[in-house]
Structure 1
């Protein structure tokens, strides 16, 4: 019987292992499936909250929402089930902005899922930015970004 050299064995094992191991976000238990091109900022958020709780950042440094973002949070945001990680007194709201062709340079604030769906049907590449905001203490953080029509823009 021929003996297989150790490097060949290692290569064979690696190629077999790659058939059974998935490196996608969907393969991790508890991670929800997302759209292609989506960027989630949870790690950056957790780091910022951790630094605040350790006393390395003051409240005025993390609760600094722009007045226009606060107006959008009061008037056209979607409610969230999450409490504010800073003041812990109010629920966060989600403000969504879309940027793309034939939209204002400052983006368009989305007020409903219907409006978002209509924009996703238009031609061109549209990016959506979802910001979580506390209407009480002005905490804000970019939650995620994604392409509205990833199949057409690819």
Structure 2
């Protein structure tokens, strides 16, 4: 019994073999090393120390998103339930009035139209949470405010929610962590017995 499909596995197995040939301790099949190939997997990706894969230096990445979680599969599954009739519009189009207000005042219009009513563009609302935020935790923020907060604060989590203001469709699309990182040690002491 074969555990792989030949039409899918062969190209990727070949990429792995090509990469291993160029490593120390592996012989080349010809007189010269193989030509560099464009890999669709991470087998041949080389990143030097102190360099990010996107070319930025480590100092520039402190304000960038990290620990990104994309909820596209959950969104797709929920929409499939709606289109198949297993979930009613009343179940999915239930945005809270505060979320609708946040979409009106703090939201950013996206290029995507609403997947339910197809009448209006979706608004993306960014909610911030974290210990460093204190009273601001749980508030909706405009995207331009996030960069400023990332420079000032150590670490906070951002949740991006898409909202249709006409039919009230809403879904969590993404979450990520921003800030300067947790470089400072914790001030908590170990409990004494």
**Shorter-chain TM-score above 0.5:** yes
Superposed CA offset, 1:72-119 (max 9, x none): 112221011101011111110000011122333751211241x11111
The alignment's TM-score, normalised by the length of structure 1, stands at 0.74
User: Counterparts of 2:68 and 2:136 in 1: how far apart (Å)?
Assistant: 21
The alignment's TM-score, normalised by the length of structure 2, stands at 0.60
Aligned match of 1:152 in 173, 181, 193?
Answer: 181
Equivalent residue of 2:67, what SS? coil
Equivalent residue of 1:138, what SS? coil
In the TM superposition, 1:1-150 aligns within 5 A as 16=17, 21-22=41-42, 35-100=65-130, 101-104=132-135, 107-113=138-144, 115-149=145-179
Query: How far apart are 1:18 and its partner, in Å?
Result: 7.5
User: Could you tell me which residue of structure 2 aligns to residue 3 of structure 1?
Assistant: none
4+ runs deviating over 4 angstroms: 15-20
Q: CA RMSD in A?
A: 2.6
* Ranges in structure 1 where 5+ consecutive residues have no aligned partner: 1-12, 24-32
* Ranges in structure 2 where 5+ consecutive residues have no aligned partner: 1-13, 21-38, 44-53, 55-63, 184-193
User: Counterparts of 2:126 and 2:113 in 1: how far apart (Å)?
Assistant: 18
User: Counterparts of 1:99 and 1:56 in 2: how far apart (Å)?
Assistant: 33
